[in-house]
Amino acid sequence: MKKILSFIRSMTFGMILLIIVMALSLAGSLIPQQEAAMTYVNAYGSSTAMLLISLGFTDIFHTWYFYALEILLCLNLLLCSILRFPKTRKAAERLKHQAQEAEPDRPLYIGDHQKIASYLSAHHFTRTETENGAPVYTKHLAGFYGSFLTHLSILLVLLFGSLVLMTPQVTDQTVMPGEVLTLSDGTTVTCESFHIQDATGKLDYASVLTAASPDGKQKKTQEIRVNEPLRFGSYKIYQQTYGTAGRIQITNTENGAVDVQYLTDPCFLSIDQRNGIYFEALYPGYFREEDGSFTLITSTDRSYPDPVYRIQSITDGMSAAVLAFPGEEIHMGEITFTFLSPAEYPGLRIKHVAAWLYGGLYFSFGLMVAALYLCFFTVPVAVKVTEEGYVICSPKNQEGLEIALEAEKAAVHG
């Protein structure tokens, strides 16, 4: 049992776990997560897609083995750091005690003692009186906590990073070009434009979005694609899917009011709930038969070259099937329905993570930087100074300090 516990708390086991977690996180960043099965089939082929799905690589941050690795790594770091804290805390006292008990190995002469003491005080050494009357000057004792804080910061990074990855609120929204989407906290997202093909005709699903804070003081405009999300505050907005919507302009000839409606699902457009048009579907094209009839094309290759609206015209309870083309109008009393060219629109995936989780993650990274600074640039040192001489105690070589103190002695004696 002791051997197992010793291995779990060892640096070797921690490094193995960390490498595996980093590898899985990289895979989760490269492979789109939580998509429909057909998305992976189209991207990787059926056999590879089935393998990825069966291994959980399509939702890797919610798999049982990722949770298990996170728990083991946190346990390893906990045992490596928290349980060693008492020893770390006592290390500073041991260094002072070591300096107190050490015999001076550098002699001092008349006038040297005060000069050395003044130098140490001027360079922010802390003076501690000892029982035998010889003061001990200490500096950078916080350096003993560098290793402990490094382990603690890694633990916090893993904790908050895992929460950020595993607890986002995910919603899928569609927004038409020119429309404004208001999120739960008042943040607005405006779809400035969307296109399926770029200027050269190459497929390029991209949206230009403008996000604004609830108070309007912060704004950000960015073109997004599938793997290039818009990051704004605690939101990440992805280009998820796309669609084509019909458009119809409704004009009231009596008061001049004009409204444009987007049509994606079957709906009834009416002023009095009795007379109006019922939108059934939008088709990408048609064939005109020799007898003058139309055969509608139901399949589309991402474009609507000859769009056709299939509707029901309803008047006084009587309906008639109608095929309408962009530019055509239907008049019903004072209301005119004008069919417009279809519009392409994006489907957005919006991920929201609580702000305090990002705050915790940033704090953890800041703590890691501070801890690494303590490890590499803050070396604890204690200097005992008596009338006869001084001695330097430190876990690392203090040749620079020794040269500086010897220089102070030399200055006293000319």
The one-digit pLDDT tens for each residue of the chain (414 residues) are 677 777 777 778 878 888 888 888 888 878 887 777 777 887 888 888 889 888 888 888 888 888 888 888 878 877 777 677 777 778 888 888 898 888 888 888 877 888 888 899 999 999 988 776 788 999 999 998 888 888 888 888 888 887 887 778 888 899 999 899 999 889 999 999 998 877 777 778 899 999 999 998 999 999 998 778 999 988 999 988 888 999 999 999 888 899 999 999 999 998 788 889 999 999 988 887 777 677 888 776 667 888 999 999 998 878 899 999 999 999 988 899 999 999 999 999 998 988 888 889 999 999 999 999 998 889 999 999 988 889 999 988 888 898 888 888 877 665
3-state SS, residue 102: coil
Give the Cα separation of 54 and 48 in Å (integer). 10
pLDDT at 412 (0 to 100): 63
Query: Terminus-to-terminus CA distance in the chain, angstroms?
Result: 66
Report which of 242, 98, 259 is spatially closest to residue 176, judged by C-alpha positions.
242
At residue 278, the pLDDT reads 94
Residues 6+ apart with CB under 8 A from 154: 18, 77, 368
Question: Tell me, what's the pLDDT at 368?
Answer: 93
What is the spatial distance between Cα 408 and Cα 211, in angstroms, rounded to a whole number?
62
Q: What is the pLDDT of residue 337?
A: 94
User: What sign for the dihedral angle of Cα 136, 142, 146, 151?
Assistant: positive
> What is d(CA 319, CA 328) in angstroms, rounded to the nearest whole number?
18
Q: Where does 187-284 show beta strands of DSSP type E?
A: 188-197, 203-212, 219-224, 230-232, 235-252, 258-263, 267-270, 276-283
- DSSP string covering 122-168, please? HTTPEEE--TTS--EEEE-GGGGGHHHHHHHHHHHHHHHHHHHHH--
Contacts of 395 (CB under 8 A, 6+ apart): 95, 379, 380
- What is residue 414's predicted lDDT score, i.e. its pLDDT? 55
Of 340, 338, 333, which is closest to residue 274 (Cα–Cα)? 333
C-alpha 234/C-alpha 351 separation (Å) is 8
Residue 302 has a pLDDT of 64
Q: Where are the domains of the chain?
A: 169-243+348-352, 245-342
* Residue 11 token pair: 């640096």
Q: What is the CA radius of gyration of the chain?
A: 36
Q: Is the pTM of this model over 0.85?
A: no
Identity of the residue numbered 245: A
| CA gap 162, 168 in Å, rounded | 10
Query: Mapping DSSP to helix (H, G, I), strand (E, B) and coil, where does residue 207 land?
Result: strand
What confidence score (pLDDT) does residue 413 get?
60
